Structure 1
Amino acid sequence: MKKIFLIMLVVFTACNSTKNKKDNSHSIVNDMGKENIKSKTIVVLKVNAEEVECYGAHGKQNCLQIKELGEDKEWKNQYEGIEGFDFKPGFVYNLQVEKIVLKNPPQDVGDTFYKLLKIIKKEKPITDEMMSDYATLTVTKIENGRDGYLATLKNDKENLYTTTISIPNLEDNYIRLNVGDKVKIAGEYAESDPVQIFAKKIKIIEKESLKKLPELTVTKIIPGKDGETIHLSDKNKKAYNMIASIPNLGDNYVSLKVGDKVKVEGEYVDSFPTQILATKINKIK
């Protein structure tokens, strides 16, 4: 009997601890006090379709993945949840939220919290498998505009399409295209001539600009303070060097190893060996 009681007590304590953890994350926002608020702003959050396993102050847990639109390029974990938001997996959300930053957050808790104001958008994510159902189109013309650009495209039957590509309508799916690029565009296709595409996601199948670049093989990597000096050669054994680091490549930085085949975008300096001032490294699979 005593053993059963102890088991029930442990279960009750664990459940109560979980409940308190959720309640605390909300009560922090509600009861923090004006004197402890550093700032309050209204932002738009994008919430990914699935939670991820993460480790917070209370150990192993599931975290929402969020991006502040116009601010974050990569998904980040939200350990404390979003007050007032009932997350349903399988949907990508755009939320208007109040972002609250604390001066002195409680121990083992972050300083930033979000409170739901409005659900702007809720939709199923577009997967690579879904992208494969769309026709491959070739960009034939680019016309720059105020907030983005208008792309004219054609399919293999010479049928014409147009789509407006801008950050306001594509958000973090925004991408810069060039004439000659081959792409797949997910979205709504209007029955018009040319066909107008209300793009939701664009996937580049083949970049025209990469065709002109030499295919290079990594032959040596020398680690440095902020990155690596990469030695490469082309099919004719011509030598190339470049610096690969986060400071000079930012989000385009990729980790390389000897034997990798790449095409490198950037400025090629006429020297020996040829020095590449890299802006993007494209691995060839």
Structure 2
Amino acid sequence: MKKSILKNSILSLIIISVVSCSSMKTATVSGKVSVIQKGKDGYTATIENTKGRIYLGTISIPNLSNPQLFKQAEIGDTIVVKGDVWKMGKEKQITVREILELKQKNVAEAKITGTVQSIEKGKDGYTAKIKTTEGTSYFAVISIPNLGSPGKFREFKIGEKVTLFGEIWKMGNDNRITVRKILD
């Protein structure tokens, strides 16, 4: 008897999932982050747009089209995301595939100077590990979209000394900088 109930419950859950997922569409959602729920590979952000609509945005490294562009939003930040929009009951959900923009409420901008320690290629650029003259390490996200145009983009070599300007943020214990200008 219990096995039959369990099988029927699982089958019902699968059917509901298939029906729910079949009505997905790709959309862009923008708004202010009001709640953050931490998860295993990312987080869920409650995003409220200017019309008062609320979306629950699942932002996780495996779901992103380019995992290197993962960014941690905080409550009060403004975010623009693109992904698969669907409903679960009355709640609007978005499985985020791209973080198009993240404006942090307290963005710290800084200039760093250091030596390139390593380089990891990405879709639109690369991430360079920079060790500053003070001994602090930063993972510098250097990409054409973040710099604003292909003419401003430059590839560095390991051992090269660089000066960069951009937004400083943290991912776990790692210091990061989204590079907006290459200064040397």
The TM-score by the shorter chain falls in which range?
0.3 to 0.5
State TM-score, norm by structure 2.
Answer: 0.47
State TM-score, norm by structure 1.
Answer: 0.33
Structure scoring higher RCO (CA < 8 A, sep ≥ 6) equals: 2
Query: More strand per residue: 1 or 2?
Result: 2
